[in-house]
Amino acid sequence: MARRAHPAAGFRRVLLAELRQIGARPGLMFMLAPFPLLLFVLLAAVFQLGLPRNLPIAIIDQDRSTLSRQMVRIVDATPEVAVAFEEATLSEGRQRLLSGEAYAVVLIPPRTERDVLAGRRPEVVLFYNNQYMTPGSLVARSVGGALGTVAAGISVEARVARGADVESATQAVNPVPIRQSALFNPSLEYVQFLLAAVMPTVLQIFIGASAALSFSRDRQGIAGLGKSLRLGGTLVRTAVGKLAPYTLAYLLVLWGADALLFGPMGARFGGSLPFHLAYGVVFVLASQMLGAAAALVARDTVSALAAVGVITGPAFGFTGLTFPRLSMNGFSDVWADLLPVTHYLELRTDNILRGAPLDISVPAFLWLAALALVYGGVTLLLLWRHGRPSQVTATEAGQ
Amino acid sequence: MIAAVFREIVAALLAIWTDKGARSTMLGATLFFSVFFPQPYLNEVVRDMPLAIVDQDGSTLSRELIRRIDAADAVAVARYAPDMSSARLLFLKREVHGIVIVPPQFERDLLAGRAAPIAAFSDGGYFLLNSVMSSALSNAARSLGAEVQVGRLTASGVDMAQALAVVEPLRVTTVPLFNPTGGYASFVLPAVFVLILQQTLLMGIGNLKAGRRSAGGLSTFADALVYVGLYSLWAGVVLVLLPWVYRLPRIGDVAVMYAVVVPFLAAVTAMGIAVARLIPTKEGVIFFLVVLGMPLFFLSGVSWPAEAMPWLLHALAFAIPSTTAVPALVRVNQMGADLQSVEATILTQLALCLAYTTLAVTVDWVKRKPSA
């Protein structure tokens, strides 16, 4: 009767028991907030400089003419690359690539200037390391652009020599210019892009693992889950009471990281703040339910953690932030939909980066909520089964 | 002596087999992750990324430009939109991932020798889609522009060779090396595989050793031999066999690969034993390693250049074997680097092995002292 009169009492008892457990474990306390924030700072430091600058390349100038020296100068002047090595032969240039010292080699063959003047269209070759795709393609783009500028200059001169005026010659060099702008994230900031995506993915591991630890600790304990269930009174109150401290801690970490990102680090926030907070809450809940369900399926704590690790560890590849979902195989596409972080990142992109109207985000939000409900349902079901073994045996004995 | 070592080796092998956690990480997880992790990337490249076109000119040349854009493998013209706002809506709904606007009078300007700009809106939130679109567009625009220009010049009586020399006096040829198709799996997996070796080996050692007393120098040495031996086999599977199965480019010399792999595994083993003595619980070790996987990948400099990291962070990261081993093994396996190009890494790994061994021995000594 007393329990019914104070429906919050069961919740409070479980909550206090859980807080005592956390308090007794410094490792767990460290994992709740300091460790994820530390990782955030580490990742922020990795991407701190935004776009890479002065990536080293090698130049093989076999022409040694005014034109070739001009090319070297213009290439070196682009902010993304720096001419770090001047080599005599292609094999020396190749060695720079193999040792990882240079990302690209530019070969200016002998007689380049003479051939240009004679209208023989000589060839300058840019070899770049596409195994290191991010820096490689960045270097290729800027060096290619710089060499293109040199070629355009020559083309303008040739046209002027043929009697064109400078204005029309300049236009003729690039007849179909592309005014390219990114619709969102126009500065193509890596901080916005990677850090904002990596942090929730790492947090999903923490959130899932903490929920898994909480439930499997109870299952391993002498009293078992039964004790927590008796404390809570009902399944829902027990689950909520156990998970509440973690929900709160990780929401603070999630929002704390966002505060750093949009505050001191200067990322732009272009969406609705209440909505951002709302899907943050659902994301944390869904990840917790995923971890709790895994813990109740697994036999012991180590397998529970391993299961969470297997599900959440490789999640980043599946979110489609690096390699897009539209190009994934069927399995990956389905798997991606089962991970809370996929939908969370989509909602983030829609809301913060794109400032999309809310109705665009409804499907992703429903997905995220559905995941929370399904994983939560599985958790409650398993909790109910594991929590009352005595009752089952009692009925069996009665039959 | 040799018999004793042999007995310890058998004991170490049995320990891996009988400890469920160690068996599932050192035998199961290594294989599982190497099959599971590659899944999203296996299609290698983006094909037919849907674009929306707003053709405000509706001319022969605008249609020709659109045809050339559509001809690129990476993109496909999926929708024609009447105006920017409806194209934008398609974009927000993720039905298209880029928008191209061909303004009115595109053809007239182009034929008159004036610049005829087009506008392109790409997806700044997704880097790969962004770069795929920009290269497809610039190829189409450049080829059409050059053709029109050459046509104009030859029409005014210049011969073909001269016209070409005016339009393109210097040819710039770009040659992507080592991963010629720019495949994403080819880029990311060789690095990830090395990291999987390191992480599962560390987890396995954590499972076996966390919170346990050292069983003596000889026994620990035999354990280390077994771990390095077992993972040398795994290195063959993960770095040679799997790339073949997934058809990733691999041109390296296997002997050079092992010249890096063995010191690397020795360093990881020493680190694993040291960490297991520092972190007392299995759960702690495993959790720590799962969480650290992604940051370690970024620190290796394969996806994000080391030059763009703060030097202090990069220097600290040298303490983790994967930081130098990942790029070195990628250079050997995928780029065909020789022994001389990876000498520094081999020495780094040996130094790490020594340092972590010293740490492990010290931790054990400190822990024993109070009880002795």
Rounded CA separation B202/B197 (Å): 9
DSSP character for A48?
T
Interface of B with A in 11-40 (CB under 8 A): 20-21, 24-25, 29, 32-33, 36-37, 39-40
**Packing angle of the helix pair A301-312, B282-299 (nearest 10 deg):** 20
Single residue among A139, A173, A207 that ends a domain in this structure:
A173
- Which has the closest alpha carbon to A200: B294, B285, B199? B294
Residue A192: predicted pLDDT = 65
List Cβ neighbours of A310 (8 Å cut-off, separation of 6 or more): B29, B32, B33, B36
**Residue A181 counted as domain residue:** no
- Between strands A81-87 and A55-61, the pairing is parallel
Q: Quick one: A112 and A164 in the same domain?
A: yes
Question: What is the 3-state secondary structure of B274-286?
Answer: HHHHHCCCHHHHH
Residue A114 and residue A118: Cα distance in Å, rounded?
6
User: Do the domain assignments include residue A183?
Assistant: no
A383 and A248, same structural domain?
yes
Where does a domain end: A104, A139, A173? Answer: A173
Q: Domain check: are A336 and A222 in the same one? A: yes
Residue A188 DSSP one-character state: -
In a domain, A184, yes or no: no
Query: Long-range contacts for A393-398 (Cβ within 8 Å, ≥24 apart)?
Result: none
Q: Which of residues 212-271 of B touch A (CB under 8 A)?
A: none
Query: Other CB atoms closer than 10 Å to residue A208's CB: what's the count?
Result: 33
Q: Are A389 and A271 part of one and the same domain?
A: yes
- What are the structural domain ranges in chain B? 2-42+183-371, 49-167
Q: Is B321 left (phi over 0), alpha (psi -120 to 50) or beta?
A: alpha
Across the strands, what pairs with B146? none
A184–B124: do the CB atoms touch at under 8 Å?
Answer: yes
A133, A155, A207, A351: which to substitute to probe chain B, counting the most B Cβ within 10 Å? A133
| Separation CA A144–CA A136 (nearest Å) | 12
Q: Which of residues 118-137 of A touch B (CB under 8 A)?
A: 119-137
B186 touches chain A (CB under 8 A): yes
Q: Is residue A244 located within the same domain as residue A313?
A: yes
Other beta carbons less than 10 A from residue A377's beta carbon: 12
Answer for the pair A29, A247: CB distance below 8 angstroms, yes or no.
no
Q: Do A97 and B177 touch (CB under 8 A)?
A: yes
> How crowded is residue A272: how many other Cβ atoms within 10 Å of its Cβ?
16
Coil, strand or helix at A333: helix
Residue A220 structural domain: 2-47+191-398
Question: In chain B, what residues touch A171 (CB-CB under 8 Å)?
Answer: 113-115
Amino acid B100: pLDDT: 92
The answer to whether residue A178 sits within a structural domain is no
Distance, CA of A89 to CA of B173 (rounded, Å): 18
Q: How far is A89 from chain B (nearest CA, A)?
A: 17
What pLDDT does residue B372 have? Answer: 47
Helix/strand/coil (H/E/C) assignment for every residue in chain B? CHHHHHHHHHHHHHHHHHCHHHHHHHHHHHHHHHHHCCHHHCCCCCCCEEEEEEECCCCHHHHHHHHHHHHCCCEEEEEECCCHHHHHHHHHCCCCCCEEEECCCHHHHHHCCCCCCEEEEECCCCHHHHHHHHHHHHHHHHHHHHHHHHHHHHHCCCCHHHHHHHHCCCEEEEEEECCCCCCHHHHHHHHHHHHHHHHHHHHHHHHHHCCCCCCCHHHHHHHHHHHHHHHHHHHHHHHHHHHHHCCCCCCCCHHHHHHHHHHHHHHHHHHHHHHHHHCCCHHHHHHHHHHHHHHHHHHCCCCCCHHHCCHHHHHHHCCCHHHHHHHHHHHHHHHCCCHHHHHHHHHHHHHHHHHHHHHHHHHHHHHHHHHC
> Given the structure tokens 């010293």, which residue do they identify?
B358
Check if the beta carbon of residue B142 is closer than 8 Å to that of residue B167: no
Residue B260 and residue B345 in contact, taking contact as beta carbons nearer than 8 Å: yes
- Chain A positions in Cβ-Cβ contact with residue B281 (cut-off 8 Å): 27
Cα–Cα–Cα angle for A35, A37, A38, nearest 5°? Answer: 60
Domain count along chain A: 2
Per-residue pLDDT, A6: 59
Burial of A76 (0-12, 13-18, 19+ CB in 10 A): middle
Q: Which of chain B's residues have a Cβ under 8 Å away from the Cβ of A184?
A: 123-125
Interface of A with B in 327-386 (CB under 8 A): 327-329, 331-332, 335-336, 349-350, 353-354, 356-357, 360
Q: What is the largest CA-CA distance in chain A?
A: 107
Evaluate whether residue A361 is within a structural domain. Answer: yes
Supply the pLDDT for residue A366. Answer: 93
Instruction: List CB contacts of B24: < 8 A, sequence separation 6 or more.
Output: A303, A306
How far, in whole angstroms, is CA B250 from its chain's centroid? 14
Determine how β-strand A178-182 pairs with β-strand A104-108: unpaired
Instruction: Check CB contact of A51 with chain B, cutoff 8 Å.
Output: yes
The pLDDT value given to residue A5: 45
* Contacts with B, A 140-199, CB within 8 Å: 140, 144, 147-148, 150-151, 154-155, 158-159, 162, 168, 171-172, 174-186, 188, 190, 193-194, 198
| 8 Å CB contact between B265 and B201 | yes
d(CA B297, CA B322): 8
Q: Do B283 and B307 meet the contact criterion of CB atoms below 8 Å apart?
A: no
Residue A69 CA to residue A80 CA, distance in Å, equals 19
Residues A18 and A63 in one domain: no
Last residue of a domain, one of A173, A208, A240: A173
Taking an 8 Å cut-off on Cβ atoms, the answer to whether B164 and A121 are in contact is: yes
Q: Which residue has the tokens 């034929």?
A: B111
One domain, residues A377 and A258: yes
A384 is written with which tokens? Answer: 């109910």
Name the residue of chain A whose CA is nearest to B117's CA: A177
> Which residues touch A152 (CB under 8 Å, ≥6 apart)?
A173, A174
Q: Smallest Cα–Cα separation from B54: which of B129, B111, B118, B139?
A: B118
Report ipTM for this prediction.
0.83
According to the model, what pLDDT value does residue A391 have?
45
What is the predicted pLDDT for the residue at B368? 77
Number of Cβ within a 10 Å radius of residue A177: 16
Query: Of the CATH numbers 3.10.129.10, 1.10.760.10, 3.40.50.12780, 3.40.1710.10, which one belongs to the domain with range B49-167?
Result: 3.40.1710.10
> A395 CB near a chain B CB, below 8 Å?
no
The closest CB to that of A130, out of B123, B169, B176, belongs to B176
Write out the H or E segment, with its range, that includes residue A374: helix A358-387
**Neighbouring residues of A11: CB distance < 8 A, sequence distance ≥ 6:** A232, A237, A240, A241, A244
- pLDDT of A394 reads 39
Q: Which of residues 234-273 of A touch B (CB under 8 A)?
A: none
Is A380 part of any domain? yes
Residue A169, domain CATH: 3.40.1710.10
A181/B120 CB distance under 8 A: yes
- Measured CA to CA, the distance from residue A206 to residue A290 in angstroms comes to 12
A250 and A386, same domain (yes or no): yes
Residue A359 has a CB neighbour count (10 Å cut-off) of 9
Residues A278 and A309 in one domain: yes
Residues 6+ apart with CB under 8 A from A141: A80
In a domain, A353, yes or no: yes
The reply to whether A59 and A43 lie within a common domain is no
pLDDT tens for each residue of A79-129 = 889 998 998 898 899 889 888 889 999 999 999 888 888 888 899 999 999
Query: To 10 degrees, the CA torsion angle through A350, A352, A354, A357?
Result: 60
Strands B99-102 and B118-122: antiparallel
CB atoms B124 and A322 under 8 Å:
no
- The identity of residue B66, as a single letter, is I
If asked whether residues A38 and A67 sit together in one domain, one would say no
Mean pLDDT by 10 residues, chain A (399 residues): 56 79 76 83 77 87 90 90 90 88 92 88 91 86 89 85 81 82 67 79 89 78 64 74 86 89 81 90 92 83 81 86 86 91 90 84 91 89 70 40
E-strand ranges in A292-346 read none
Q: Which residues of A touch B138 (CB under 8 A)?
A: 178
* A253 shares its domain with A316: yes
Going residue by residue through chain B (372 aa), what tens digit of pLDDT does each one get? 778 778 888 888 888 888 877 787 788 888 888 888 889 888 888 889 999 999 988 888 899 989 999 998 889 998 898 998 899 889 988 899 999 999 998 888 888 888 888 988 888 778 788 888 888 898 888 888 888 888 888 888 888 888 888 888 888 888 998 888 888 888 888 888 998 899 889 888 888 887 777 777 778 888 888 889 889 999 988 888 888 888 888 888 888 899 999 999 999 999 998 888 887 777 777 777 777 888 888 887 777 777 778 888 888 888 889 888 998 998 898 888 888 888 889 999 999 999 999 998 888 888 777 654
Nearest to B246 by CA among B254, B237, B255: B237
A18: left (phi over 0), alpha (psi -120 to 50) or beta: alpha
**DSSP reduced 3-state for A294:** helix
